[in-house]
Amino acid sequence: LFTSLHRQMHSSNEPRDPDYRVLTNERMNKHVLEAQYAVRGAIPLRAEELREQLEEKGKDAGLPFDTVVNCNIGNPQQLDQKPLTFLRQVSALTEYPDLLDHPSTSSIFPSDAIERARSLLKEIGSVGAYSHSMGVPAIRQRVAQFIENRDGHPSSPGKIYLTAGASTGVSNILQILISSPLDGVLIPIPQYPLYTAALALNAARAVPYYLEESADWGLDVENLKANLEKARHEGTVVKAMVVINPGNPTGNCLSSENMQDIIKLCYDEKLVLLADEVYQSNVYGEARPFVSFKKALKDMGAPYADNVELVSFHSISKGQSGECGRRGGYFELCNFHPEAEEQVYKLASIQLCPSLGGQIGVDILCTPPKEGDESYALWKEEVSGIARTLKERSQIILKAFRELEGVTCNDAEGAMYLFPTITIPPKAIAAAKAAGQAPDAFYSLKLLEESGLCVVPGSGFGQKPGTYHFRTTFLAPGTEDYVRRLKKFHEDFMREYS
Ligand SMILES: Cc1ncc(COP(=O)(O)O)c(CN[C@@H]2CONC2=O)c1O
Tens digit of each residue's pLDDT (9 = 90 or more) over 232-261: 999 999 999 999 999 999 999 999 999 999
What was the pLDDT predicted at 1? 64
* Closest CA relative to residue 479, chosen from 412, 388, 414, 390: 390
| Distance from residue 104's CA to the centre of ligand 1 (Å) | 39
What was the pLDDT predicted at 11? 61
What is the position in ligand 1's atom list of the atom closest to the CA of 166? Answer: 11
| Distance from residue 336's CA to the centre of ligand 1 (Å) | 24
What was the pLDDT predicted at 58? 86
pLDDT band per the 50, 70, 90 thresholds, residue 366: very high
* Mean pLDDT along residues 75-85: 94
What is the position in ligand 1's atom list of the atom closest to the CA of 471? Answer: 20
What was the pLDDT predicted at 435? 94
| Distance from residue 284's CA to the centre of ligand 1 (Å) | 18
* Mean pLDDT along residues 395-405: 96
| Distance from residue 323's CA to the centre of ligand 1 (Å) | 11
Tens digit of each residue's pLDDT (9 = 90 or more) over 132-175: 999 999 999 999 999 999 999 999 999 999 999 999 999 999 99
Is the shortest distance between the CB of 329 and ligand 1 below 6 Å? yes
Q: What share of the chain in percent tops pLDDT 70?
A: 97
Residue with CA at minimum distance from ligand 1 atom 13: 74
Is the shortest distance between the CB of 241 and ligand 1 below 6 Å? no
What was the pLDDT predicted at 287? 82
Greatest alpha-carbon pair distance for the chain in Å reads 71
Which residues are 185's β-sheet partners?
A: 206, 240
What is the position in ligand 1's atom list of the atom closest to the CA of 316? Answer: 11
Is the shortest distance between the CB of 198 and ligand 1 below 6 Å? no
pLDDT band per the 50, 70, 90 thresholds, residue 395: very high
| Distance from residue 46's CA to the centre of ligand 1 (Å) | 21
Is the shortest distance between the CB of 197 and ligand 1 below 6 Å? no
| Distance from residue 167's CA to the centre of ligand 1 (Å) | 7
Give me the chain's average pLDDT, please: 94
Pairing type for strands 470-473 and 456-457 reads: antiparallel
* Mean pLDDT along residues 415-421: 96
Amino acid letter for position 340: A
What is the position in ligand 1's atom list of the atom closest to the CA of 167? Answer: 9
**Taking 80 as the threshold, does the pLDDT of residue 206 lie above it?**
yes
Whole-angstrom distance, CA of residue 91 vs CA of residue 55: 32
Inter-CA distances, 459 with 90, 123, 440, 454, Å? 41, 46, 7, 15
In sign, the C-alpha dihedral spanning 314, 315, 318, 319 is positive
Residue with CA at minimum distance from ligand 1 atom 8: 165
Cβ-count burial 321-339 (b if 16+ within 10 Å, e if not) = bbbbebbbbbbbbbbbeee
Q: Higher confidence at residue 105 or residue 3?
A: 105
What was the pLDDT predicted at 69? 95
* Mean pLDDT along residues 218-239: 95
What was the pLDDT predicted at 285? 83
What was the pLDDT predicted at 9? 64
Tens digit of each residue's pLDDT (9 = 90 or more) over 9-67: 666 666 677 677 888 898 899 999 988 877 778 899 999 999 999 999 988 889 999 99
Pocket probe mutation, ligand 1, options 192, 250, 455, 471, max atoms within 8 Å of Cβ: 192
Is the shortest distance between the CB of 79 and ligand 1 below 6 Å? no
Is the shortest distance between the CB of 315 and ligand 1 below 6 Å? yes
* Mean pLDDT along residues 180-191: 96
Is the shortest distance between the CB of 277 and ligand 1 below 6 Å? no
Cβ–Cβ under 8 Å, residues 491 and 407: no
Is the shortest distance between the CB of 236 and ligand 1 below 6 Å? no
Is the shortest distance between the CB of 416 and ligand 1 below 6 Å? no
Tens digit of each residue's pLDDT (9 = 90 or more) over 88-108: 999 999 999 999 999 999 999
Is the shortest distance between the CB of 373 and ligand 1 below 6 Å? no
Complex ipTM: 0.99
**Contact partners, residue 400, CB within 8 Å, separation at least 6:** 483, 486, 487
What was the pLDDT predicted at 37? 79
Is the shortest distance between the CB of 166 and ligand 1 below 6 Å? yes
What was the pLDDT predicted at 14? 64
pTM of the model: 0.95
Is the shortest distance between the CB of 316 and ligand 1 below 6 Å? no
pLDDT band per the 50, 70, 90 thresholds, residue 320: very high
| Distance from residue 330's CA to the centre of ligand 1 (Å) | 13
What was the pLDDT predicted at 280? 98
**Taking 90 as the threshold, does the pLDDT of residue 350 lie above it?**
yes
| Distance from residue 166's CA to the centre of ligand 1 (Å) | 7
Q: Higher confidence at residue 40 or residue 121?
A: 121
pLDDT band per the 50, 70, 90 thresholds, residue 8: low
What was the pLDDT predicted at 59? 86
* Mean pLDDT along residues 257-271: 97
pLDDT band per the 50, 70, 90 thresholds, residue 419: very high
| Distance from residue 491's CA to the centre of ligand 1 (Å) | 32
Is the shortest distance between the CB of 278 and ligand 1 below 6 Å? yes
What was the pLDDT predicted at 16? 72
